[in-house]
Amino acid sequence: MSRAAPAASRPVTAGLDAARAVMSSRATTFSLASGLLPPALRDDVARLYLVFRTLDDLVDDRHPEAADRVAAVGAWARSQPGADSPEVRALDDLARRHPLSREAVSDFCLGMEQDLAPAPFLSERDVDRYCYRVAGTVGLAMVGLLGAAGPDADACAVALGIAMQRTNILRDLDEDLAAGRLYVSEEVRDRHPGGLEPGRRGRLLGALIREADDLYREGEAGIASLRHGRFAVGLAAALYREILREIERRDRRGLAARAVVSDARKLAIAGRVILGAA
The per-residue DSSP string of 173-216 comes to: HHHHHHTT---S-HHHHHHSTT-SSTTT-HHHHHHHHHHHHHHH
Q: Are residues 76 and 147 in the same domain?
A: no
Q: Are residues 192 and 268 in the same domain?
A: yes
pLDDT-based confidence at residue 40 (cuts at 50, 70, 90): confident
Q: Are residues 91 and 148 in the same domain?
A: no
Tell me how far apart the alpha carbons of residues 248 and 231 are, in angstroms, rounded to a whole number.
26
Q: Are residues 129 and 243 in the same domain?
A: yes
Q: Are residues 75 and 127 in the same domain?
A: no
pLDDT-based confidence at residue 124 (cuts at 50, 70, 90): very high
- pTM, to two decimals: 0.86
Final residue in a domain of this structure, among 66, 99, 132: 99
Average per-residue pLDDT for the chain: 86
Q: Are residues 81 and 149 in the same domain?
A: no
pLDDT beyond 80 at 87: yes
Tell me how far apart the alpha carbons of residues 72 and 106 are, in angstroms, rounded to a whole number.
10
pLDDT beyond 50 at 108: yes
71, 83 contact by CB (below 8 A)? yes
Tell me how far apart the alpha carbons of residues 221 and 230 are, in angstroms, rounded to a whole number.
11
Tell me how far apart the alpha carbons of residues 241 and 164 are, in angstroms, rounded to a whole number.
8
Least confident interval from 58-67, 106-115, 145-154: 145-154
Quick: pLDDT tens for 129-188: 999 999 999 999 999 999 998 778 999 999 999 999 999 999 999 999 998 899 999 999
Q: Are residues 48 and 127 in the same domain?
A: no
Q: Are residues 159 and 49 in the same domain?
A: no
pLDDT-based confidence at residue 7 (cuts at 50, 70, 90): very low
57, 7 contact by CB (below 8 A)? yes
Q: How far, rounded to the nearest angstrom, does the alpha carbon of residue 43 sit from its chain's CA centroid?
A: 18
Tell me how far apart the alpha carbons of residues 161 and 259 are, in angstroms, rounded to a whole number.
19
pLDDT-based confidence at residue 72 (cuts at 50, 70, 90): very high
Tell me how far apart the alpha carbons of residues 36 and 32 are, in angstroms, rounded to a whole number.
8
- Per the domain annotation, does 111 fall within a domain? no
Tell me how far apart the alpha carbons of residues 107 and 85 are, in angstroms, rounded to a whole number.
18
SS3 of residue 163 by DSSP: helix
Whole-number pLDDT of residue 275: 66
Phi, psi of 148 (to 5 degrees): -150, 145
Q: Are residues 73 and 129 in the same domain?
A: no
Quick: pLDDT tens for 209-223: 999 999 999 999 999
- Domain carrying residue 190: 119-278
Q: Are residues 190 and 69 in the same domain?
A: no
Q: Are residues 169 and 226 in the same domain?
A: yes
Q: Are residues 204 and 233 in the same domain?
A: yes
**CA-angle at 250, arms to 249 and 254, nearest 5°:** 125
